[in-house]
Chains A and B, each alone.
Chain A
Amino acid sequence: QLQLQESGPGLVKPSETLSLICTVSGDSISSPHHYWGWIRQAPGKGLEWMGAIFYTGSTYNSPSLKSRVTMLVDTSKNQFSLRLNSVTAADTAVYYCARLGRSGSSDWFDPWGQGTLVTVSS
């Protein structure tokens, strides 16, 4: 059964870099059929797509976050990671990782990790 698990610090100081890892079990991250994505949800708000990465390292990011987001993949550990720099309080959110399925006409996330709350505060 495919499972994803986010890990990383729950508290980050303003202006610093948020770093999270998503560990995938039950499937190979090197699958040529899927991307792997990050989505976040600020408290009481909706879902915001951040970006996605292919096992080759190819990425595509949200235009609103593009300059601050870096994603990497480590196929040897079956993990992918997110780095978001220059964080502010507005980046406080639950961060989810998920497998991204794609067809010619749509994208869908399934399954999702349980999510990890990251708070930006001094």
Chain B
Amino acid sequence: QKEVEQDPGPLSVPEGAIVSLNCTYSNSAFQYFMWYRQYSRKGPELLMYTYSSGNKEDGRFTAQVDKSSKYISLFIRDSQPSDSATYLCAMSVSTTGGGNKLTFGTGTQLKVEL
């Protein structure tokens, strides 16, 4: 079983739709939960991060964490064609070096159509 599971999609939605992206995980030691957006042939861009159960909102994006169920979600409201990208969930535990190494989901490819 992978530590982080994510539906690879692809997911196609019309412009303006609400998008729900989800990941499950098995490692209870994970402390930080992140969502990244990756455009084709580019490095990932951090969208949101959180470290507690509950919701965190930033503009059109809402990150949700349920530690009891080991389940995280990213909601995108009023989706736009520019949101078309691959969305990766990532999780981390602390490292002794002071940084945090990340375990990624496989990514969900999203296409928002006009």
A and B: real partners?
Answer: no
